[in-house]
Structure 1
Amino acid sequence: MKSLVNVRILVLCIALLAALASGAGIFSSQGPGPFAHTSIRGQAIPIWGRGIYQHMSAEVAPQGIAQDWVTLVLGIPLLLVALQLAARGSLRGRFLLAGTLGYFLVTYLFYTVMGMYNALFLVYAALLGCSFFAFALVMLSFTRASLPLQFGPAAPLRLAGGFLVGIAASIALLWLSIVVPPLLDGSIVPLQAEHYTTLVVQGLDLGLLLPLAIVAGLLLLRKKPMGYLLGPVYLVFLALLMTALTAKVVAMAWLGYPVIPVIFIIPSFWLLTLLLSYRLLKNIDLPRQAADAPTLSPGKTLAAGSSLP
């Protein structure tokens, strides 16, 4: 279908570029090996010293490699499967596609603005752009007013909404526990800043991602049409992100870093997010979805009254 061409092209570009970026992160090995670096703040920082992440700290670089494995083994295949499902008219597929694109958007936003400059900078920038526009096109393809009719009575809307608010508040408190104490004792800069310019993850989480989760959760609790859109999309995105975070925690434990209590907290959040995502998507009311959807071509329909651009 001609109207699907833009999203398909963008998704294929994302899949190819992400395979290149994640493969380089996993398999590159050039560099001098581990060494110490004194930051501008006078802090001695152990540097990874190997591969495309050789200038990242020894604590952050292996986390990037762990996320690269998740992107390569799970993220890219899921993105392509979701595209095919959405192209066949599946509303579940379109939610899955939007949430997976959200994962790629946030992942390569962080890689672009946090990763120490390397040969893949333009690849990260291209992935950021392609993910943003593909995500925007898919989100705009939903007809919000009809979405409440697409979910069956067993859909755990209030549970999912409360979970989004709760997990956002929990992570916000965690990040504030890092940022606020140095402000109170006058040292200003947390040790977690290492040799980076700022706390990128904490800043983007506190400023954008966590408020969005709270808004999505509250709208879902109130059963507003926008909540029916943002809630499932955010949960799919969060399920993938929590998979990556779990892989990061496992990588840190493997390298001997202290991971208590996060080794229990993050996998628990991950399992809850997977369960809620599955239950929400499972309880899309398929008979009504098919009845309300226009015909794209013989034997194919697109749910919720609109097409993918």
Structure 2
Amino acid sequence: MKNPKITLALISLIIILSAIASITGIFSSDGFESFTFESIHGEETIVYGKGLYGYMPEDVAVQGIAQDYVTLFIGIPMLIIGMYFSLKGSFKGRFILAGTVGYFFVTYLFYMLMAMYNEYFLIFVSLAGLSFYALAILLLSFELKSIRSLFNSDTQVKLPGIFLVINGFNIAFLWLSIVVPPLLDGTIYPSGLGYFTTLVVQGLDLSLLLPMSIIIGILLIKKNSYGYLFGPIYLVFLSILMVALVAKIIAIGLTGGTIFPAVIIIPLTMIIAFYSAYSLIKNLNS
């Protein structure tokens, strides 16, 4: 692996800072009583009122805490395992590490942009930046010309590719069903916007992550070298992200929120993502 010392330093910082942020998010409880806040659009929102996410809407705060559990008990161990095997020269370890770093980048990019300003803002900024540069270094460590030779000749890439294409369009249509109807009937602002200034999740998904899923899927189907590079990495990232979304669904359900049809779609997507990632990575030559 190229630049192992730099990569190790970046990953170590990500582990330390994300552990601090996650533990604080899970266990902090100081604050004030929850209260109802009326947004500029006249929509009433229950503010959570305690801990790191005290000024977040209640339904969003509990999702943040649920994801902190996933980051702490799944994301960080995967960083450690991936880094350990990467340093030993394992390509499987390097793909897993890159996909996991991708999860940290997307997670803290959302935290940095979406969480109400709090004392951990600079930690979120640092984690987004550190994981971005760590991911860039990891991607550049692969030799694109020889990437296909890392996989066994009988590796099946068509089904994982089709899954990535379907996943991209599926979530895109879901988000557009929220954004487009208010534009057509003149109300403009979607229900559930609350006191957020914009739809951060939908915006980043529709502009970056979902087109990326579709493009990588097409490249995999065509057996393009970029597909072999980005396919396993994106699938590892997506697998961890889906675990986080399942945790969020459980948190919403426990607070009495509506979880259908997400309670069916997200776990199914998680299972397929896991299988697709495993099917590619197991066929990597040692």
Q: TM-score normalised by the shorter chain: which range applies?
A: over 0.9
Correspondence 1:262 to 2:262: yes
Q: Unaligned stretches of 5+ in structure 1?
A: 287-309
CA deviations on 1:86-106 (whole Å, 9 max, x unpaired) are 110000011001000000000
CA deviations on 1:141-185 (whole Å, 9 max, x unpaired) are 000111111112442300000000001100000000000000001
Which structure is larger by alpha-carbon Rg, 1 or 2? 1
Q: Which residue of 1 aligns with 2:98?
A: 98
What CA distance in whole angstroms lies between the structure 1 residues aligned with 2:155 and 2:49?
48
> 1:203-218 to 2 correspondence within 5 Å?
203-218=203-218
Is the Cα–Cα contact under 8 Å of residues 2 and 141 in structure 2 kept in the other structure?
no
Q: Which residue of 1 aligns with 2:107?
A: 107
Q: Which residue of 1 aligns with 2:193?
A: 193
Q: Which residue of 2 aligns with 1:303?
A: none
Taking only the aligned residue pairs, the percentage that are identical comes to 49
Q: Which residue of 1 aligns with 2:80?
A: 80
Aligned length: 286
SS of aligned partner of 1:119 = coil
Q: CA RMSD in A?
A: 1.1
SS of aligned partner of 2:40 = coil
Q: Which residue of 2 aligns with 1:300?
A: none
Is the Cα–Cα contact under 8 Å of residues 29 and 50 in structure 2 kept in the other structure?
yes
Q: Unaligned stretches of 5+ in structure 2?
A: none
> 1:1-309 to 2 correspondence within 5 Å?
3-286=3-286
Aligned residue type for 2:5:
V
What CA distance in whole angstroms lies between the structure 2 residues aligned with 1:101 and 1:82?
10
What's the offset of the Cα at 1:2? 8.9
CA deviations on 1:123-155 (whole Å, 9 max, x unpaired) are 001101100100000000000111111112442
SS of aligned partner of 1:36 = strand
What's the offset of the Cα at 1:40? 1.3
Aligned residue type for 1:38:
E
What CA distance in whole angstroms lies between the structure 2 residues aligned with 1:238 and 1:186?
35
Aligned residue type for 1:186:
G
What's the offset of the Cα at 1:4? 0.8
Is the Cα–Cα contact under 8 Å of residues 103 and 240 in structure 2 kept in the other structure?
yes
